[in-house]
Chain A
Amino acid sequence: MLYAILCYHDEDFVGSWSKEQDAAVMAKLAVVQEKLTKQARLGPVARLLPTTAATTLRKENPPVVLDGPYAETKEQLLGFYIVDCKNLDEAVDVARDLGAANPGGAYEIRPIGLFAPGGAVK
């Protein structure tokens, strides 16, 4: 079974780390990730940019693009995509296509700051 592990924390708090503190945490995480990579158990790892950089597409008819993160709590996180796009416009277009195929709910579009493809998992 493949598992996704979703990371939650207070972004103000994490954002207040100095460069050194941040690097120290990342180094500690890298040790854990390396172990998993060696066991061919690690898939992609991504660190998202802050929610201030987020855009949300509500899959209504017609779809509405809103600035900011997805803030409702009555819906649950069901999955995610990682898509290579030239800019936000392209990413919104992809989300629109996906939304047309599966209306209802919303997509939050967040740029990724750090990405490790992690080809270990087949």
Chain B
Amino acid sequence: MTDAAWIDAALTSARPQAVGALLRYFRDLDTAEEAFQNACLRALKSWRENGPPRDPAAWLIMVGRNAGIDEVRRRRKQEALPEDDQALSDLDDAEDEVAERLDGSHYRDDILRLLFICCHPELPPTQQIALALRIVSGLTVKQIARAFLVSEAAMEQRITRAKARVTEANVPFEAPGAVERGQRLASVAAMIYLIFNEGYSASGDTADIRKPLCEEAIRLSRLLLRLFPAEPEMMGLMALLLLQHARAAARFDAEGSLVLLDDQDRSLWNKTMIAEGIALIDKAMRHRASGPYQVQAAIAALHCRAEKPEETDWRQIDLLYGALERMQPSPVITLNRAVAVSKVRGPEAALEMIEPLEARLSNYFHFFGVRGALLMQLGRNAEARTAFDRAIALANTSAEAAHIRMHLDRLMRDAASGK
């Protein structure tokens, strides 16, 4: 491993803690980011000459803080700020070496705050994700734009707007209380899940480009779990992401079409990720405090544990979806449960289960995909075709549409051969 690669990795992994501390210090996102950038530039030079410091994050915070103070001073001279400027008196206190305030409890809340300001409820999900990737993960605007398949200019604008909004939101800088901390943690977990899904729901032709989003979400969830090691839902989230991502290499075929779970080459699944995911669920379960991420992870684990599709424990999956329905009732969860029900009790029972959902899922691609598949299993081919046509009309990606078209082709072939 070259020095450059080491320095790069160290800067990336120190970033959340360093930017979080600098933000607490300067109370301004742009100043904190600039200070961090400055510190990184100096690190590139100094670390290469003198070797890496023992604690890269502390080094970056110290150097970033000094760089930030110089910058604010320079600006003050140029702009002649009013005498009673608040930031200034803060800075004078801060110059005291003792004011380093780098103890463990602080840095936990620093990172959580940094993540939390990205999930302001007024920000639409796409802006939350973009902001988190920019500020917390430190991806360049160009990298984020590429992952979102939009132009760099459009992404720049999206991030600038999001930043303006969170500045107005004024997230408090005091350490949060236990309840507040729990709420922040839940919002941040939801945002990390969004980042993951943004990568996971990519179609075959863009899966490689968007894969870094999944990896970044896993990195962030690992960071969060390390800060809050006793939170079973954080273990559940991390397990869920690992178990889903473990199947990434098998999810698309050479042409980029989606390969369903049943048809995937299971030897391509990442065994280490699966082992880690299962270990985390095991750990979470000892807390006897179930939650949606844990249940979803447990479902994913049952799929991963089966070496062949027919070994899947559908009965247990059905039960787990039942538990998930009770925790967060949603027609989408019922729809997923119906797939398990079709394996346990047959397509007829599953169809009966999803019929009442139509009104609420009338614009949902998967609803018509599942209904079509169930009707096809029952030999009700004409109805199946109608459902599949509707699914294609609602498909979000070309891979989804292609997958349904495959079913349709089969129906046509069967019809032609008089089956």
Interface set of A (CB-CB < 8 Å, partner B): 10, 12-13, 15-16, 19, 49-53, 55, 65-68, 87-89, 92, 111, 113-114
Contact = CB atoms under 8 A, between A and B. Distances in A.
Given A52-B222, A52-B229, 6 more contacts: A16-B219, A52-B280, A65-B286, A88-B279, A88-B283, A111-B276
Interface of B: 6, 9-10, 12-13, 219, 222, 225-226, 229-230, 235, 238, 270, 272, 275-276, 279-280, 282-283, 286
B9 A12 contact: yes
Nearest to B280: A53
Among the interface residues A16, A19, A66, A92, which one has the most CB atoms of the partner chain B within 10 A? A16
B276 A113 contact: yes
A49 B272 CA distance: 8
B2 to A, nearest CB: 12
A78 B353 CA distance: 58
Given A52-B225, A66-B230, A111 B286 contact: no
B415 to A, nearest CB: 44
B279 A67 contact: no
B286 A49 contact: no
A53 B286 contact: no
Q: Is the interface of A mostly helix, strand, loop or mixed?
A: mixed
Contacts of B276: 49-50, 53, 111, 113
B282 A88 contact: yes
Contacts of B238: 52
Given A50-B276, A68-B229, A68-B230, A13 B9 contact: yes
B283 A13 contact: no
A13 B279 contact: no
Closest 6 A/B residue pairs (Cβ): A68-B229, A111-B279, A12-B13, A88-B282, A67-B230, A53-B279
A83 B321 CA distance: 33
B9 A67 contact: no
A89 B156 CA distance: 49
Nearest to B221: A52
B257 to A, nearest CB: 23
21 contacts: A10-B10, A12-B9, A13-B6, A15-B222, A16-B9, A16-B12, A16-B219, A49-B279, A50-B222, A50-B276, A52-B229, A53-B276, A55-B283, A67-B230, A67-B235, A89-B282, A89-B286, A111-B275, A111-B276, A111-B279, A113-B275
